A = this chain, B = another copy of it.
């Protein structure tokens, strides 16, 4: 069978299965270094040629960072195994279409990040991805938890290098391309949470998805939290851009966001001193639990749809950071188990779920680039159908009173 010889030629550990070939990029005893595989090499006669490439970065705080670039023929998607299998950005025709321009320019190796620095804000030293997993031990803003422990901003997953990284390519149409990697949060007496992340796309598609399985390997139940912090700047975000998401209710995250509540669906252009406004949404879903958040540009011919399931991820945070371009002009559509408050504020809200000893939890999030009016319209129709003409209740007061709590 042809894949066998390809594997041998590439000198890779690649067991050939009936469904395709699996390439081990990193396990505990090897790392392939710079590496590439193409549909041509695999002898796959895909109508859309594709490739997967692993590169190592150098210099400054990105020294030693590995990236995996998946070119599916339409999109060029960059994953960062060294940073928790995050998605750095997505390009089309050489232009960034999904992602944003952070003031942080390097793809920062976690070895240079001290999460507890700046009172738990060290995560900000590396924040520049389109998709950041905030979890899984905790997910929210920094603060001292009820047990006296400082929980650093957005958890540790994104600053944990992945182990057991592998690429799988199916040999039959649609030739699904998968990239897996494990994020291990294991601390003696504290946590035994391991997340098997899986990225998936197919050649020629404008869609890609993550399918993550969090397993509690402990003999004890544990808390967990996750926010899929999905961030978009230009070219979709602009003055007059709009966000739509089926919801029963929206409320401001804090006092500052109250003044933006009424206009939550529209965006300002880059605005000095805007800083950030955050809103908490209670998403609605279809019968299968699927919900969709859609962001599109002002003329509604470019956008992105984020699909998630409310059984897995029951809440949605909307982060509007429409400050100046250099400050990071960006918005986040963030499905999660929880909002962005510190864990201690979410326990009373029932937003700190339990994962039982030995249990696994699955999270599926799909991103679709909407690159014409018709696609945008179609996505918005799904939102409308789920909303079903019901109003989104605007709650004026934050559900957590941050002014009356000690942080």
Contacts and interface: CB of A to CB of B under 8 A. Distances in A.
Interface of A: 26-31, 55, 57-63, 102-106, 110-112, 114-119, 121, 124-125, 127-128, 148-150, 152, 160-165, 182, 184, 186-190, 192, 217-220, 272, 323-328, 357
A254 B215 CA distance: 34
Contact of A327 (B61, B110, B115, B219): B219
A112 B115 CA distance: 11
Contact of A186 (B59, B105, B149, B150): B105
A71 B182 CA distance: 31
Given A103-B192, A111-B112, A219-B327, A60 B161 contact: yes
Contacts of A117: 115-116, 150, 152
A265 B145 CA distance: 38
Contacts of A357: 326
A173 to B, nearest CB: 32
Contact of A59 (B103, B115, B164, B327): B164
B217 A103 contact: yes
A324 B31 contact: no
B217 A161 contact: no
User: Ordered nearest first, which 3 A-B pairs have the shortest CB separation?
Assistant: A60-B163, A219-B324, A59-B163
Given A58-B29, A59-B31, A60-B182, A125 B187 contact: yes
Contacts of A58: 26-31
Nearest to A103: B192
A59 B106 contact: no
Nearest to A330: B188
B57 A163 contact: no
A112 B59 contact: no
A188 B126 CA distance: 8
A184 B219 CA distance: 38
Contacts of A161: 59-61, 63, 112
A360 to B, nearest CB: 15
A328 B219 CA distance: 10
A114 B112 contact: no
A103 B186 contact: yes
Contact of A328 (B55, B188, B324): B188
